[in-house]
Amino acid sequence: MIAVTARYFAAFRDKAGHDTETLRTQARTAGELYAEIAAAHGFADTMTRCKVAVNDEFADWNTQLEDGDTVLFFPPVAGG
C-alpha cells in the first residue's frame, strides 16, 4: 500500500464533491488509480479522453506511482 494525494478538476471535482483527497491504495500506476477512483466517484469518462498529471507534470496512464505522489485527474478538456 502507498499513500497518494488525488486532485480533481471541473466535472470530476463536482462529482467527487471535493477537490483533494488522500488515498491509501494498492494501485501501481496512474491508470490503476483512475480505475479505483472512477468506480468510487462514478466518473464515466474513459482514460483515453482524460488526462493525468503526476507531481504537476503531464504523465502517461502507465506511470508508476510512488508513496507521496500527487496525482491530478483532468476530465475531457474544453478550451476555446
Interface residues with another protein (CB under 8 A) are: 9-11, 14, 49, 51, 53, 56-58, 72, 74-80
User: In 3-state terms, what secondary structure has residue 15?
Assistant: helix
CB of 11 to another protein, least distance (A): 4
Please, which residue, 55 or 62, has the CB nearer to another protein?
Answer: 55
Instruction: Compute the distance between CA of residue 49 and CA of residue 17 in angstroms, rounded to an integer.
Output: 21
User: In 3-state terms, what secondary structure has residue 27?
Assistant: coil
Please, which residue, 36 or 45, has the CB nearer to another protein?
Answer: 45
Please, which residue, 13 or 28, has the CB nearer to another protein?
Answer: 13
